[in-house]
Every structure is written in structure tokens, then in C-alpha cells.
Structure 1
Amino acid sequence: MSPMRMNPKIAVGVVFVASLFMSIMDTTIVNVALPAIGREFGTDPAGVGVINVGYLVSLAVFVPLSGWLGDRFGTRRVFLASLALFTVASLLCGAAGSMTSLTLYRILQGAAGGLLTPVGMTMLFRAFPQEERMRATRILMLPTAVAPAAGPVLGGWLVDGWSWHWVFIVNVPVGLAALVFGLLALPDYRAERAGRFDAAGFLLSAVGFGAAMYALSEGASQGWGSARIVASALVGGCALAALVVVELRLPEPMLDLRLFRDRIFRTTNLLSLFSGAAFLGMLYLFPLLMQDALGMDALHSGLMVFPEALGVMLASQIASRLYPRIGPRRILATGSAVVACCLALMATIGPDSNLWAVRALMFVTGYAMSHVFMPSQTAAFATIGARDTGAASTLYNAQRQLGSALGVAVLGTVLTAVGAVTVNASGTPVANLAAYRAAFLTAAGLALAAAAISLLVRDSDAAATMRAVPAGGTGEGAAESVAEPVGKG
């Protein structure tokens, strides 16, 4: 089906925001439903976590494949096929009648999600010329900021008022609407030459990223010394080491690691790894503090997180105006430092804390984090050529997935090592706030590391993304010069 004529920026922006919102929210909305799923299928809390682990491992396996598929078959075709698969898998998850079938359908969801985000980002950055990349990044802030915060709120409401099945079924109308719109309006972008399929690279990346993601996801709960976690970590580490050696020797690798020779791409990826670990680790830790330590229910805990999304959305309007004037370096350093201070202050939250002060703290955290996410994502692709956009997007998203898993793994390990539960003088188990303090301070340390890395960013490297858009210009000509839309998938 040939797409109707529409500004490619609008078409790509609408479809990608809807799809990314659905994909990101799916990672947080399901957490609220885990206890209800466990009760229905008679599975203990430790066992029910397999549906999330299967999703994350599958996601990690398919992200590296996304760049080659998009270049080989066209971004439109791959994106819409992934969107269709994610929508169908969501419906199957909602209709699952056993723990086994639910886990298998979640793996299908992960495979689709692993292709959706990198291919969608490739389309977005090919539709927008360099001088409009901050506008493109601002589009990404809506799903990136709102979805993680909205997931627990919507999930709590659906589980309490309906059933756990609806946390999956809610994706279906969004997915169908995005799919129909995409079929009608989405342009196609293809590289001039996709290269041969790198079978060795795919196998090594699948084993390496999959095993590493499993170890990071389950290490804190199963124990880092358990045989299964040690074996997964060793297998993953060896496979990733072999992947580096193999990919650097191939002329057309699946993961073009040579892109890390690009100074600003390398630096912003490293910064994003630490800042993402700090931020997403906090989003994992904060609800646990609210619910397990302070006795709040899931819905109200989710509402406590939501001011973070409001902060991100407000700051996205400000950061996008500051970026062309002062460049990314100072924005990144200041934003990361403020995030570190906010995370350190979260270590003081206790039963007597003023909840409005906590909400304000969440708002400021989101406000500052927007000054990290937007400039880093924009600057990362400043010196990446048009032909390498798909490969660079694949690497960036692989790093982001590992960063989120790293944050949860590190903070979960600190929480477990200190002991989230202690026994009071009367022998009653109570929450150990010292463990949460240690975990929040660790998150603050990760954000401080991001602030230090941001000082290595050079504004001159990001000059192409700091140019003002000509008055009345749409950038469409530049967009078409990046990759010519081929018209049909």
C-alpha cells in the first residue's frame, strides 16, 4: 500500500510517539499486575517475574538486528510489521490461560519491542535534518517521560477495577490506530546498500546481550553468587567480548562498533548509560519505598511518581530553546548534577516526610532529567552520516536497554545487600530504611558519574544540531537528502 502524501515529520512523529508510548509503558504497567497474575496461576512472587525477564531478554536479543533489517527491507515495512506483532502479542498476553503461554507471548512482545524503538528512531532522525534534531528529540520526550510514570497509575486502576488481563489488552486499540495511520501515511527510508547479513554478529549479540540482560535482571533476586547467574554472566561476557573482536574485523558488521570512534557519539552514549541507570533505577526503587516501606497502595504510589513526567514535559520546552544558544555541554553537566542532588535528597524520605515535598522533589528530578535526555540524544547523532543512522540508532538503543537493566541491578543489589527488611525489638519484621537510603545514594553516585562524563562533551562537535532553522523553512528538502523516501514498503 502506497502512503498518502503527508509531511514525513508529522507522519513519523505521530506513529512513533504512539508506538513508543505503548512499548515503554508496557515495561512498567505489568509490574503492578504481577501479584494478581501470580495468584491466578498459583505462582509465587519469584516465579511470576519470569514474564518480565522473558520480555527483557527477548528485547535485548532483537535490538541489534533492527538496524540491518531496516536498511535491508525498509524502515516502513519493518516498523509496521513490528507494530503489528506487538499488538497481536499484547492481545495474546491478555487472553493467556497459563503461565507458560503468557511467558511465550511476552517473549513475542519483546521481539517486536526490540525492533520498534531503534527503527522508529532511525525514521525520526531521517525525517528531521540536523538543525531540527532538537525538535525531533522533544517529540520523544512525551512517551519517554509520561509512559514510565503513567504505567503504574493506569496499571493500578485497571487491576483494581477490572483484571490483570487489561494491562495487556489496553495496548490493542493504540496499536491498531497507529498501524492504520502508519499504513496510510508513513514514508519509507532505505539505505543505498544494506550489506550482507552478519550471522556471526547476530548469534554472538543474541547470546551476549540475552545472557547479560538475564544476569542483570535476576542477579539481585537470585543472588549474584548463584550458579545460574554466574554462568549467565560468564557466557554473556565472553560472547560480548567475542562480538567486539568479530565485528571490528568485518567490513559490514551488524553492530558497527567503529561508530564509537566518533568522539561525541561515544561520549554521549557513555553519559546516557550512567544517567539512564540512575534515573530508571530510581523509578524502580521509588515505588518499592512508597509501597513496601511506607505502606502506600500501588495506585497512590504511581501518582507520587507522576510529577516527574510533568517536570520532563515542562523542561522539554526550555531545554530545546537553550540548546542552540549555549550547546549541550553546560546543559548536560548542570542537569546531571541537579539529578544527583535530588536522588541524594530522596535518601531522606521516611514516614514523617511531607508528601507534597516529595512530589516537588520528583518534579524537579524530572525537570533536571529532561536537560540530560534531550541534549544527549540530540548531540549523539550530530556527526553521524546519513548512511550510518540506522546502525547508530541500534547501538544507542542497545546501550539504553543495558543502562536501564544496570540501574535496576545495581540498586536492587544494594537493597538486598543492606537488607530491605529488618526485625525490630519485638521481633516483628519492618522495612529497613537504611537500605533504601544506601540505594538512593548509589543512584546519586551514578548521576554524578554522568555529570563528570558530560564535561568531556565538546559543543563544537554538536554544531550541526545547533544551527537555527531558516525562517519559513520546513527542512523537508534536507530530510529527503538524508534518505530518499521510496514511497511504498
Structure 2
Amino acid sequence: MADQPVAASNKLDAAVLKIAGVIVLGAIMSILDVTVVSVALPTFQNEFDASYARVAWTMTGYTLALATVIPLSGWAADRFGTKRLYMLALFLFTVGSGLCATADSINQLIGYRVLQGLGGGMLMPLGMTIMTRAAGPHRIGRLMAVLGIPMLLGPIGGPILGGWLIDVASWHWIFLINLPIGLIALVYAWFALPSDSPEPSESFDFLGMLMLSPGLALFLFGVSSLPETATITATKVWLPMLVGALLVIGFVFYSFKPQHPLLDLRLFKNRNLTIASLSLFVFIIAFMGAGLLFPSYFLQVRGQSTLHAGLLMAPQGIGAMLTMPIAGMLSDKIPVGRTVPFAMVLIAGGFFTFTQVGVDTSYWLLCGSLFVMGLGMGGTMMPIMTSALKTLTHHEVARGSTLVNILQQIGGSIGGAVMSVILTSNLNNSTPIPGAVDPQTGKPVTEAGLAIASQLKPEILQQFPAPPELIRKGLEFAADSFASTYWVGFILVLATFIPIAFLPRKREVSHLDDDVAGDRQAPVIIH
């Protein structure tokens, strides 16, 4: 076969890099969209006269769409072909972006974001499949490093780009900018991606799909409603979580019966896959959950603009960009059990700084800590995933990585919801201002609430005049609330050292080497 010499090479040659250009372009477009929208939420509140909890569903709807398509990606790639499906995903994402820019209401915008998520959710899994077929199984570490580039550019460029577009143009442009990029990516994909012939050999598990996809979507819907209700006893939270959990549990028992289940839980018999999954799950709850609050601290406590908050987060992505390629090469040579613990020490050290934040904490110290965390992050996630993939056969690796990816999505949603609830609970303990009532909610205005509102909108002080010393007191309370929440994340980061201690410390024998390099099964990852 023509691609066998490519697989045999130790370096990613020009042919592989040409294909990588398509995949990285699509992934950047998808991941940037997540971070760009995150900084636009206050703008959506003003434009559509909606609450923060309501506009947050522009993010949640996208995530729910991802959870729905993840289990289907592997089967659909076999049934319809990776090139066709990848181009369809690009088309759906681009069309969804255009529709988002035309939204006249928050409900329309949420619906269009779901359409975007159906396309965006398939871009990374399919891209990884295409890349692995082109590069061969011998270079998974280097491959992970290449596919990690868009994951780094998202946190760096997304908030900066979103803040700039909203400042100089309007919120519509955070979606319109995807139209020319999407068209270029479609044309590029048509010419650069190799043609493949669909070879469906496994029956589709419809019963499994009817349990797993709705189960995941309902469970994540309930979890994502926690910040809005601030209590797990709310019907909007516990009911979908319960129904979703029952459907997922039902799928767990059912999945051992069919020969080709939608999600192959039998792969958890593989020790490396189990340890890697558990390590990433705990890590993502801690790091991604608390990490979402880093920009909020800059905005709400320090009074930075959206653009400046994005710039202050850039050192984290820069640090990861430096170490991820090195970690990718090392993971092909050195057992991850000998490298990942050192990377986790860097993450824990940088994270600790945020448990000490105050109103006047040095920006140099905070940015330096983010940079150190980025260095550790670049040496953690991809090597752990690589370790899991190396011990699976070529036929198993697509389904194995799908398992890990679903756990990552659940972990990220749980982490974000839990950290938001803890922060909200802490802030609500602030002292109420006598006689001050919010006309929209009817609730008393607290010192911390007023201080944060004045940082986001200075004109709010015209409605609720307050002396500078009261604002200062409220900001100090808010800073303490953020620090207390970061302590929870820091403890969870320390807990990640437990499963990481069981990662392999001896060189693993790669079962992928025993398979045919051009086998149709390939690993998939998502963001």
C-alpha cells in the first residue's frame, strides 16, 4: 500500500502534514468557537435581555450535542467513510455558525449552537481517525502532539479574538468569522484528504444508542442546571440526572450482551486504559472545573476587560505549547509513569497560587503560575492518552479512546457545575446592603454582589451608590470566595496523584505494532 512507507517512517512527512493541515484547521475552528463564545456571555445577556443562567445554555447546548454524537462517530465513519463524514461535519458546523449570527432570540441562538455542536463534535474524532490512518500506528505520540496544537490555540486565541471582535464590531462576528474559514477548510479537505471506501462490517447498536446518547444528554443537562438552581434538590436538576443515570446504568448492563455494542465496556479489562481513564477523569474535574473560573476572577474581582482577561490567560496556553511536542516525542520512548508525575507537580505548584488570591495579587505572579500550569498540562493529558492507546489492538483503539472521551466530557461538565455552585454559594454568604434590593430578582443586594457588578459595569453605582470602602470590602470577600473554591480544585488535583501512581513505569509493548498499519480502526480524541 502507498501509505505503508509513511507508517514506517519515524517522522511526520510532508504527505502526512498536508492532511494534518486540514484536520488542525477544522479543530481550531471548532475549539476556538467554544472559548470565543465563553467571553461573549455578558454581551448575550444585554442583547437578549436574558439571565446569565439562560445565556449559559449557548455553551451547554453545544456540550450536549457533543455528548450525543461521540458514541456514533466510530460507527458512522465505517458506514459512510471518513472523508465524506468529515466534510459533512465541516458543513454542519459552518452552516450552524452562519445561523447563529442571524439569531433574533436567545432560544434561537441555543438551537443553532446545538446544530454547531453536532458538526463540531465529529471534527476531532474523525480528524484523529484520518490522521492515524495516514501516519500509521508507530507515531501516536507525535500524532497526539500535532492534534494538541488546536487545543492550545483555543485557550490562547479564543478569549482574545472574542473580546476583540465584540469590541471593534459586534457579537455576530464571533460566528461570521467561521464562514470563510469553513469554506476554505471544505475546499482544502476535498483536495487533500485521501478517498476511502466505506466498509461497514458491524451492525449498528440501535438499542444501545437509545439508552446511551439520551442518557448522557439528560445527565449532563441536569448537571449543567446546577449553577442556575444552586441546589441539587431542584426538579430541573435531580430528575434529568436520575433518568439519565438510570439509562446509562441500563446501558452498562446491556452492553456486555451484543457482540458489537455502541460502547465496548469490556475494554476496561485493560489495566492501562482503566488507569488512564480514571486519571483523566479526576484531573479534568479538578483542572477544567476550577480553570473555567480563572477568567472570572480577572473580570469580576480585578475589573479587567474581556480582551485583557483573555490576554492574561495566554501564558497557560504558551506553557503547554512548549511542552506538548516534547511530551509527545518522549511518550514514544519513555513510560508515562516516569514523566507524568513530574508534570503534575508543576500543575499543583502553579494551582496553589490561586488558593491565595486577593484583591491586589501580583499579575506577574498569577501569569507566571498559569505558565507553570501550562507546562505541566502539556506533559500530562496527551501522554496519558498515548499510554492507553499503545496497549490496545488496532481494532480496539477507536472504541477505547471513545470511552475515555466520554468520561472527559462528563468530567468537564461535572467539574464546571460543581465549582460554579461552590463559588456561588460562597458569594451568597456576603453581607446584604440594608435597603438595597435588585429590581430584576427581588433579592437583597450583597456587598460582594455590588462590588462585582461595579467591576463589570461601573455605571451600576449610579443605581446603588456605595462608598469606596464598601466596594473594597465586597471585592475582598469575592476574592476570598474565589480562593476557597480554588482550594477545592487544588485538593482534587492532589487526588489525581493517586491513580497516576499506577501508570506504567516500564516500557509498554505496543499491540498496534502487530496490526496492519492501514487497518480501518483508528483512535479518536475530542476536545
TM norm structure 2: 0.84
Equivalent residue number for residue 480 of structure 1 = 518
Amino acid at match of 1:265: L
What code does the residue aligned with 1:197 have? F
1:470 aligned residue: none
Range 444-453 or range 122-131, more displaced: 122-131
8 Å CA contact 1:32–1:155 kept in 2: the answer is yes
CA distance in 2, matches of 1:300, 1:406: 28
Partner of 2:484: 438
Q: How far apart, CA to CA, are the structure 2 residues paired with 1:273 and 1:461?
A: 24
Q: Does 1:450 align with 2:450?
A: no
Local SS of the residue matching 1:233: helix
Contact kept? 1:91, 1:169, Cα under 8 Å = yes
Residue type at the aligned position of 1:458: P
Q: Distance in 1 between matches of 2:239 and 2:262?
A: 26
Aligned to 2:447: 428
Report how far residue 24 of structure 1 moved. 1.5
Distance 1:317 1:385 in 2: 25
- Aligned-partner Cα distance in 2 for 1:180–1:465: 36
Per-residue deviation, 1:92: 0.9
Residue equivalent to 2:122:
115
Distance in 2, Cα, partners of 1:435 & 1:170: 37
* Greater alpha carbon shift after TM alignment, 390-399 vs 161-170: 390-399
Amino acid paired to 1:125:
T
Return 169-178 or 458-467, whichever deviates more: 458-467
**TM-aligned CA distance change 1:437 to 1:483, over 3 Å:** closer
**Larger displacement relative to structure 2 (30-39 or 455-464):** 455-464
**Which residue identity is paired with 1:480?**
G
SS at structure 2 position matched to 1:350:
coil
2:404 corresponds to: 396
Q: What amino acid maps onto 1:17 in structure 2? A: V
Work out the percentage of aligned pairs sharing the same amino acid. 32
* AA aligned opposite 1:234: L
C-alpha contact (below 8 Å) 1:70/1:190 kept by paired residues: no
Larger displacement relative to structure 2 (395-404 or 412-421): 412-421
Deviation, 1:243, is 1.0
State the alpha-carbon separation in 2 of the partners of residues 465 and 11 from structure 1: 27
In structure 2, do the counterparts of structure 1 residues 62 and 17 end up closer, same or farther at CA, with 3 Å as the change threshold? Answer: same
- 1: distance between equivalents of 2:286 and 2:34? 17
Rounded Cα–Cα distance in structure 1 between residues aligned with 2:350 and 2:432: 30
Counterparts in 2 of 1:127 and 1:82: CA distance versus 1, 3 Å: same
2:238 paired residue among 211, 224, 230: 230
TM-score by length of 1: 0.90
Aligned pair partner of 1:37 in 28, 44, 68: 44
**Match for 1:453: what amino acid?**
P
Letter in 2 for 1:68: W
Number of aligned residue pairs: 471
Q: Does the alignment pair 1:245 with 2:253?
A: yes
Output the CA distance in 1 between the equivalents of 2:180 and 2:37. Answer: 17
1:210: how far off?
A: 0.3
Whether contact under 8 Å (2:129, 2:521) holds in the other structure is no
> Does structure 1 retain, via aligned residues, the 8 Å contact 2:392–2:511?
no
Distance in structure 2 (CA, Å) of the matches to 1:482 and 1:65: 16
Of 51-60 and 162-171, deviating more is 51-60
Q: State the 1:220 CA deviation.
A: 2.4
Q: Give the equivalent residue in structure 1 for 2:367.
A: 359
Whole-Å Cα distance in 1 between the matches of residues 421 and 61 of structure 2?
20
Aligned twin of 2:377:
369
**CA drift at 1:8:** 5.4
2:224 maps to a residue whose letter is S
Q: What does residue 216 of structure 1 align with? A: 223
Identify the residue that residue 279 of structure 1 maps to in structure 2.
Answer: 287
Give the counterpart letter for 1:464 in structure 2.
S
- Asked if the contact 2:225/2:236 (under 8 Å) is kept, the reply is no
Q: Is 1:137 aligned with 2:149?
A: no
- Partner of 1:422, secondary structure, is coil
Deviation at 1:384, TM superposition (A): 1.9
Question: How much has 1:435 moved relative to structure 2?
Answer: 2.0
1:96 paired residue number: 103
Q: Deviations over 1:200-255 (max 9, x none)?
A: 11111122110121122221231222111010110111111011111111111111
Shift of 1:361: 0.7
- 1:379 equivalenced with 2:387 (yes/no): yes
Q: Secondary structure at the match of 2:508?
A: helix
Q: CA RMSD in A?
A: 2.5
Give distance in 1, aligned partners of 2:189 and 2:266. Answer: 33
Is residue 408 of structure 1 aligned with residue 416 of structure 2? Answer: yes
Shift of 1:280: 1.8
Where does residue 127 of structure 1 map in the other structure?
134
Matched, 1:60 2:79: no
Q: Distance in 2 between matches of 1:460 and 1:174?
A: 44
CA distance in 1, matches of 2:258, 2:398: 17
Aligned pairs for 1:453-464 within 5 A: 453-460=499-506, 462-464=508-510
Unaligned runs of 5+ in 1: 468-476, 485-489
- Counterparts of 2:512 and 2:251, CA distance in 1: 35
Q: String of CA shifts for 1:112-151, please: whole Å, max 9, x gaps.
A: 1222222222222333333311110110221111202321
Correspondence for 1:302: 310
